Chains A and B, each alone.
Chain A
Amino acid sequence: MSTRVAGALIGVVFGVVLSWSGMTSPEVIREGLLFQSSYLFLFFGGAVTTAFVGLRILRRRAPRALLTGERVRWETVRPERRHVAGSLLFGVGWGVSGACPGPIATQLGQGIAWGVPTTVGLVLGIVLFGRLQARGRAKSSVIPSPVAADATA
């Protein structure tokens, strides 16, 4: 199996779960952030706990990735100002729209037209970030240089 097929299959599972759990709906996110429902936090906690345990078992038992043969390993990242600054901007957008990058994609998939303006903005944000990086703002402590940026972010 190629890594592309694997990526697509993982995406399908992720997309079905984000839809079936209601995470695609801004109302479900809002109820969570207003502490009217515990679902969001239980769901998120269940996901992080499973991944935390699973990754630790994996690192101990599987030295090589199945498809690429790479060593299964990861580096942790030291917190910098950009992690706070970027997450502040993201938190404002998330709080107002009740959507984040995964649910924006599943809104499109479900055919929800309100997902279109959010998507256009998201794509513009990515392009804007690339421009800021290219313009040599890399020395800024908030816009990371291409080399310092987290690998898959």
Chain B
Amino acid sequence: MVHSQLPWFVGGPVLGLCVVAMRWLMNERLGVMGAWTDVVDTVSAKRLSFGPFGWMLFGLIAGAAVFALIAGGPDFHGYGWLTDTFDSTLLIVAILFACGVLIGLGTKIAGGCTSGNGLSGNAMASPASLVATMTFFATGIAVTVLTEALIS
């Protein structure tokens, strides 16, 4: 059962309900960047007293681990167009590292990622989140189309 992709009309609404649950239980905006930040800030302060956001990150990782155990392995092998295009592992690692910095710094500056701005912010009809979402979708599409044109 877990080997076929969950239908969008099930998976999408369940994620939407996670946003509602976060608000209903503790009046917080669900955002995975908030979760990463809680863990980074708490560890930087040499403490281990994570808040609900830090625990959400651990839950995310645990949920994915349980999925992989039941499915008998990860969801995919290789790393998409990067491992199809480049032979050098070192180069791919460098590219992914640079992407990580852009994602971390960019979402912190923008005050949210695909979940914080894209899901929760848009669901609250926050104009800043709408602007952020249009920007990262447009940029993501442009960069993907550009890299696809370059390698083909």
Residues of A that sit less than 8 Å from B by CB:
3-22, 24-28, 30, 33-34, 39, 42-52, 54-55, 58, 62, 65-68, 70-74, 76-80, 82-102, 104-112, 114, 117-130, 142-144, 149-153
| Minimum Cβ distance to chain A for residue B26 (Å) | 5
Complex formed: what's the CA distance from A81 to B63 in Å?
Answer: 36
Complex formed: what's the CA distance from A12 to B102 in Å?
Answer: 26
- A126 surroundings in chain B (CB, below 8 A): 36-37, 40, 104-105, 108
State whether A14 and B103 are in contact (beta carbons under 8 Å apart), knowing that A49-B16, A96-B143 are contacts in the complex: no
Specify the main secondary structure of chain B where it touches its partner.
Answer: helix
Q: Determine if B48 is an interface residue (Cβ-Cβ < 8 Å).
A: no
- A72 surroundings in chain B (CB, below 8 A): 23-24, 27
Closest residue to A133 on the B side, CB-wise? B108
- B15 surroundings in chain A (CB, below 8 A): 14, 17-18, 43, 47, 50-51
Q: Which of B41, B59, B98, B109 contacts A11 (CB 8 A)?
A: B59
Closest residue to A33 on the B side, CB-wise? B144
- A106 surroundings in chain B (CB, below 8 A): 60-61, 63-64, 67
State whether A90 and B36 are in contact (beta carbons under 8 Å apart), knowing that A34-B145, A77-B128, A114-B96 are contacts in the complex: no
Task: Taking A13-B14, A46-B12, A127-B44 as given, write out 13 further A-B residue pairs in contact, using a Cβ cutoff of 8 Å, ordered by the A residue number.
Answer: A10-B30, A46-B9, A54-B19, A67-B25, A67-B26, A72-B24, A76-B128, A86-B111, A93-B98, A110-B65, A121-B96, A122-B103, A144-B111
Interface size on B, residues (CB 8 A): 118
Contact B97 A101 (CB under 8 A): no
Contact B12 A47 (CB under 8 A): yes
Closest residue to A82 on the B side, CB-wise? B109
Complex formed: what's the CA distance from A94 to B103 in Å?
Answer: 7
Produce 1/0 per residue, B61-81, CB < 8 A to A. Answer: 111111110010011100111
State whether A15 and B63 are in contact (beta carbons under 8 Å apart), knowing that A4-B52, A101-B32, A153-B116 are contacts in the complex: yes
Contact B11 A84 (CB under 8 A): no
State whether A78 and B12 are in contact (beta carbons under 8 Å apart), knowing that A48-B118, A68-B27 are contacts in the complex: no
Q: Which 8 A-B pairs have the closest CB atoms?
A: A125-B104, A121-B100, A11-B59, A91-B139, A46-B12, A15-B63, A50-B16, A109-B64
